[in-house]
Structure 1
Amino acid sequence: MTAFRPGRRAALALAAALPLPALAQAFPDRPLRLVIPWPPGGTNDIVGRLIAEGMGQRLGQSVVIENRGGAGGALGAEVVAKATPDGYTLLLGGSGSLTINQLVRRRLPYDPATAFAPIGMVGSGANVIIVHPSVQATTLRELQAVAKAANPPLNYASPGVGSTGHAAGALITQVLGVEMEHVPYRGTGPAMNDVVAGRIQVFTNALAPMQPQIQAGTVRALAIAGPRRNAAIPNLPTTGEAGFPDIQAATWYAILTTGGTPPDRVQRLFEALTGAINDPGIRGRLEAGGLDVEPSESPAAFARFVAEDAARWAPVVQRAGVSVE
């Protein structure tokens, strides 16, 4: 029979004296990664890097950014959906990569209902409708007239097929009763570059990546597609004020992790996220970019929001005829 050594007895006694949580490995005990399902340069990238910095400080670990663009955000989302469900892989999700994608794509490489564990909302911002200065329009009503007379048709950009920008652009053409050609890009940054260069006439997206170009006069803002004006650009009228209240399109941003992640880890991540977006410095930078900061009350509350958002967009997407094989 094996001798029971005193050192072993002491170790067992110490373990018995410790509470159960102390025996479990602390989370997180290594760096995390945040997958941003869009290329660098757009609002998703701006928001994601701010949140990664803030969460990392509160988790005591670095949060490494991984840009994985393509398929309207589905490629990056797939990375998170198929990761180990341990809370170390996060997703910067949004209205495009989550809500719109599942409505317009017939096939996704994951089940949106179970692939992700919702953590919490960061915020949202109504989309701004802009045109290149060569377009002879300063209002939506004038854009409608120009688009009706255009031959060939005007074109509009989106950050990708199945993105919020894609659905919003289709909605604009529907409400204005005009024909415009959709030109998809692999993210906001590349699309914005072509708008500035004059290769694209119309674009609608969140304010942050557009704001410097609007201020510089290289693009012209016509309206904001929300119920109220934005404090970051207060002179810009809403689509309702411009006479088209049915054009409503907002982009929201949130953090999720892999479905099946233990609830205690989801809660830990939620607390870090909430602390980050309530930090005055981070909150101020988000708001300066045109975002309405809207922290969730809980992961469960955020999950309900996602379901309600899908129900709201479904008839819009159907009417606009946006579909991807």
Structure 2
Amino acid sequence: MQRRTALMLIPALSAALARPSAAQPAPFPDRPLRMVIPFAAGGSNDIVGRVIAEGMGARLGQTIVVENRGGAGGILGNEVVARAPKDGHTFLLGGSGSFLISSLVQPRIPYDIIRDFTPIGFLGAAPNVITVNPGVAATTMGELRDLARGSRVPLSYASPGAGTTGHLLGALLSLVFGAEMEHVPYRGTGPAITDVLAGRVQILTNAAAPLRPHIASGGLRAIAVAAPRRLAILPEVPSTVEQGFSDVVSSTWYGLLTPSGVPAERIGALHAALNATLADAAVQQRLAEEGVEVEPSTAPQDFGSFIERDRQRWQQVVTRTNIRAE
């Protein structure tokens, strides 16, 4: 009787073993992925994103298709990702201006940067450089502060647009200097550089990459790198912190985010691929050419904590100066 029962159980057991376990996770990624860059093709954000997409795709065994969704200061591209399927196949190249600062200064945001996104990891940051037209009688942060305080007409500073990182850094300088300064917004970094070179505006802050050739030619004078330490590609330019202005710290940073609700194991796979890419010497060199200092996060949650801290810091500047993007 026992032998007969055992024989009857064999087919059922074989069938059970042949069925995949219900707890078996689906393969990931199982198709090409999509990286949304909330800027038009050709700029620093696009270059950084494509370098990362190529490296991560090779490590994940899938192509990562880059989709440029520029417009509205980053909001259009951010919203695409916030509303994307929660399967980890779509993620965002988020940045200090397009992701975080836009959420503080834009009057209407169709998402919440904390509730609707999950961090994957930090890439690194390009510290901003404070430059002036050579006709400005200042070579240090202290001299620029004294000039701003003593000027009958407020010093003017250019930015790539209202509500950008350059706008907020200029506003921060005004607060720290204790002097009124005039903001002159442009439609992009290029036109802003043109007018500062021509002397129509006195001050420009931006990431180092687009400013570097003009600093080298003497068209712009670099006053400081808005960071705790000097920048490798501009070693002769002192930092704001070493000049005694520890509150003047600003960078154009980059990180990856998915829609909220993506399974943790998929976030982990993307984070591992990102950090492996950032460990590649060739990738580090390419990002350094864009002024980006690689700084991978130990865990996705670390990037999330950084976003919270940076948001609180810039919220104080926005509130005190009543900045709003038009």
- TM category (shorter chain) comes to 0.7 to 0.9
State the partner residue of 1:7.
Answer: none
1:284 matched to 2:285: yes
State the partner residue of 1:260.
Answer: 261
Distance 2:133 2:150 in 1: 17
Distance 1:19 1:200 in 2: 67
State the partner residue of 1:6.
Answer: none
Alpha carbons 1:120, 1:270 under 8 Å: kept: yes
Shift of 1:255: 0.6
Which sits farther off after the overlay, 55-64 or 15-24?
15-24
Alpha carbons 1:37, 1:77 under 8 Å: kept: yes
Question: Structure 1 residues 244 and 308, CA, compared in 2 at 3 Å: closer, same or farther?
Answer: closer
1:52-111 Cα shifts (integer Å, max 9, x gaps): 121121122222223333333222211211222222222111222233222333421112
Distance 1:274 1:107 in 2: 34
Distance 1:243 1:299 in 2: 33
Distance 1:89 1:18 in 2: 30
SS of the residue corresponding to residue 112 of structure 1 reads coil
Question: Structure 1 residues 180 and 92, CA, compared in 2 at 3 Å: closer, same or farther?
Answer: same
Question: Structure 1 residues 320 and 277, CA, compared in 2 at 3 Å: closer, same or farther?
Answer: same
Alpha carbons 1:15, 1:23 under 8 Å: kept: no
State the partner residue of 1:70.
Answer: 71
Shift of 1:179: 3.3
Question: Structure 1 residues 259 and 190, CA, compared in 2 at 3 Å: closer, same or farther?
Answer: farther
Question: Structure 1 residues 198 and 51, CA, compared in 2 at 3 Å: closer, same or farther?
Answer: farther
SS of the residue corresponding to residue 205 of structure 1 reads strand
State the partner residue of 2:304.
Answer: 303
SS of the residue corresponding to residue 122 of structure 2 reads strand
Question: Structure 1 residues 64 and 212, CA, compared in 2 at 3 Å: closer, same or farther?
Answer: farther
Alpha carbons 2:228, 2:242 under 8 Å: kept: no
Distance 2:210 2:46 in 1: 10
State the partner residue of 1:96.
Answer: 97
SS of the residue corresponding to residue 168 of structure 1 reads helix
Distance 2:105 2:294 in 1: 27
Shift of 1:256: 0.7
State the partner residue of 1:222.
Answer: 223
Structure 1 gap ranges (5+): 1-9
State the partner residue of 2:46.
Answer: 45
1:175 matched to 2:176: yes
Question: Structure 1 residues 240 and 152, CA, compared in 2 at 3 Å: closer, same or farther?
Answer: same
Which sits farther off after the overlay, 151-160 or 175-184?
151-160
Question: Structure 1 residues 189 and 119, CA, compared in 2 at 3 Å: closer, same or farther?
Answer: farther
Question: Structure 1 residues 31 and 187, CA, compared in 2 at 3 Å: closer, same or farther?
Answer: farther
State the partner residue of 1:204.
Answer: 205
State the partner residue of 1:143.
Answer: 144
Distance 2:268 2:251 in 1: 27
1:113-160 Cα shifts (integer Å, max 9, x gaps): 221121000012321111233444333344345555767644322233
Calculate the aligned-residue CA RMSD, in Å: 3.0
State the partner residue of 2:130.
Answer: 129
Distance 1:222 1:41 in 2: 28
Alpha carbons 1:55, 1:276 under 8 Å: kept: yes
Distance 1:197 1:76 in 2: 34
1:241-260 Cα shifts (integer Å, max 9, x gaps): 44533322223210111222
Which sits farther off after the overlay, 307-316 or 278-287?
307-316
Question: Structure 1 residues 194 and 25, CA, compared in 2 at 3 Å: closer, same or farther?
Answer: farther
Question: Structure 1 residues 22 and 104, CA, compared in 2 at 3 Å: closer, same or farther?
Answer: same
Question: Structure 1 residues 188 and 267, CA, compared in 2 at 3 Å: closer, same or farther?
Answer: farther
State the partner residue of 1:156.
Answer: 157
Alpha carbons 2:100, 2:113 under 8 Å: kept: no
Structure 2 gap ranges (5+): 1-10
TM-score normalised by L of structure 1: 0.83
Alpha carbons 2:155, 2:202 under 8 Å: kept: yes
State the partner residue of 1:32.
Answer: 33
Distance 1:188 1:258 in 2: 29
State the partner residue of 1:314.
Answer: 315
Question: Structure 1 residues 206 and 24, CA, compared in 2 at 3 Å: closer, same or farther?
Answer: same
